[in-house]
Amino acid sequence: MGFDNQKRYDTMKLYIISSGKYGSRIINSLAEMGLASSMVGLEELPEDLPEFIDDFEGYIPKNIPRADLILAVGLFGDINMIVPLIAEKSGAKSVIIPHHDPAQVPPGLQSEIIESAPDVKIVFPKPFCTLEPVGDQFIDEFCQEFGKPEMEIESDGLVKKVTVTRTAPCGSTNYIAEHIEGIPADEVELEAGNKLHNYPCNASMATDPVVGDTILHLAGYQVKETVRRALGFGMKSAVVDHDTCEASECQHECIKHCPQVQIGLDTVTLNENEQAVIDPASCGCCEICIKECPYGSIEMEERKFTIE
């Protein structure tokens, strides 16, 4: 297993606002994986803050250094409103506010945060390991090595070598890579998910009402996609029977209810006949689409799917 954690972000200045065990874990992982020299400041907030706050001034750090990117991890509720204020004081035009729990930053609060800082690029990856480049200089620089996992796998039936080219910010990708070497390639998809739980992933098991699934499950779906793309094949996916699919009649229920689609992925799309097509690379195998399809046109299949 290999991962270059010696890279230094010499030009990017990172300021972190953190709370709780999740926040501490992210900070420690990023520091261990080479980002410590870019951290120009760190503000740790208590976990027991009220959900609703009227006056934020008392929570804003007094000495905020110049920064390019603000990272807010582990904050719940209204305290997230200090993030754009800190960005303004630091001069930062780029902000990442990842979700590991559905209660952290509800959609209404996200809109309020964005509206309060129209000149700042703010993203809310759910979970953090879904973060990909967005066309912003410093968010994209961060994404060069941290965000949605990517790896390369050398295999001759057994996994011979795993190289992590982009790791989840929590460090789980490196752990998974270390523990899938030597196992049969067609067992990697399942085993990688098991190792995510063993790490363990700290994302919430509470169902997120926006996506209809848990954030922990979403993290697992990213791991499945990572190893499928690295291997060039997957072993399980939902499949649509186009002989019975009437997507135009059912208002595309599979698309509306797919958790991966709800976080911005093209897991379920439409073909030229307006029928659903499920991407075997990013399908989470959650079976929600199977339950929601009114025509019974979707089934889960266990076989080798070629990933292009």
List pLDDT tens digits, range 60-80.
999 999 999 999 999 999 999
If asked whether residues 206 and 276 sit together in one domain, one would say no
If asked whether residues 214 and 252 sit together in one domain, one would say no
Q: How far apart are CA 188 and CA 235, in angstroms?
A: 9
Q: How many CB atoms lie within 10 A of CB 276?
A: 24
292 lies in some domain: yes
Average pLDDT over residues 143-170: 98
Q: Specify whether the CB–CB gap between 199 and 176 falls below 8 A.
A: yes
66 lies in some domain: yes
If asked whether residues 223 and 273 sit together in one domain, one would say no
35 lies in some domain: yes
Between 51 and 222, the higher pLDDT residue: 222
If asked whether residues 175 and 199 sit together in one domain, one would say yes
Residue burial 226-249, b: 16+ Cβ < 10 Å; e: rest: bbbbbbebbbbbbbbeeeebebee
Helix, strand, coil share of the chain (percent; to 5)? 35, 25, 40
The pLDDT confidence band at residue 11, using thresholds 50, 70 and 90, is confident
Among candidate residues 126, 143, 160, the one where a domain is terminated: 143
If asked whether residues 38 and 138 sit together in one domain, one would say yes
If asked whether residues 197 and 126 sit together in one domain, one would say no
Q: Provide φ and ψ at 276, rounded to 5°.
A: -70, 145
Q: How many CB atoms lie within 10 A of CB 176?
A: 28
If asked whether residues 42 and 121 sit together in one domain, one would say yes
CATH number for the domain spanning 204: value is 3.90.1010
Q: Is the predicted pLDDT of residue 4 greater than 90, yes or no?
A: no
266 lies in some domain: yes
Q: Is the predicted pLDDT of residue 2 greater than 70, yes or no?
A: no
DSSP label of 280: T
Before 127, cis peptide (omega within 30)? yes
Place of tokens 């929600």: 288
Per DSSP, the chain holds a count of helices (H) and strands (E) of 10, 13
Among candidate residues 143, 173, 208, the one where a domain is terminated: 143
Whether this model's pTM surpasses 0.85: yes
258 lies in some domain: yes
- Average pLDDT of every residue of the chain: 95
Average pLDDT over residues 12-25: 97
Q: Is the predicted pLDDT of residue 7 greater than 70, yes or no?
A: no
List pLDDT tens digits, range 159-200.
999 999 999 999 999 999 999 999 999 999 999 999 999 999
Residues 6+ apart with CB under 8 A from 283: 234, 236, 237, 238, 260, 267
Q: Is the predicted pLDDT of residue 6 greater than 60, yes or no?
A: no
Q: How far apart are CA 235 and CA 183, in angstroms?
A: 15
If asked whether residues 194 and 260 sit together in one domain, one would say no
If asked whether residues 66 and 136 sit together in one domain, one would say yes
1 lies in some domain: no
- Reading the block at residue 119, the tokens are 């000149």
Q: Is the predicted pLDDT of residue 5 greater than 60, yes or no?
A: no
If asked whether residues 59 and 166 sit together in one domain, one would say no
209 lies in some domain: yes
Q: How many CB atoms lie within 10 A of CB 21?
A: 10
9 lies in some domain: no
Number of domains in the chain: 3
Instruction: Compute the C-alpha angle 218/25/165, nearest 5°.
Output: 60
Among candidate residues 171, 206, 233, the one where a domain is terminated: 233
Domain containing residue 270: 236-306
In the three-class reduction of DSSP (H, G, I as helix; E, B as strand; rest coil), residue 166 is classed as: strand
Instruction: Compute the C-alpha angle 80/94/55, nearest 5°.
Output: 25
* DSSP β-bridge partners for residue 123: 96
CATH number for the domain spanning 271: value is 3.30.70.20
If asked whether residues 46 and 115 sit together in one domain, one would say yes
CATH number for the domain spanning 24: value is 3.40.50
If you write DSSP's letter for every residue of 223-252 in order, what string do you get? HHHHHHHHHTEEEEEEEE-TTT--TTTTT-
If asked whether residues 101 and 43 sit together in one domain, one would say yes
The pLDDT confidence band at residue 9, using thresholds 50, 70 and 90, is low
Average pLDDT over residues 114-123: 98
Q: How far apart are CA 202 and CA 219, in angstroms?
A: 10
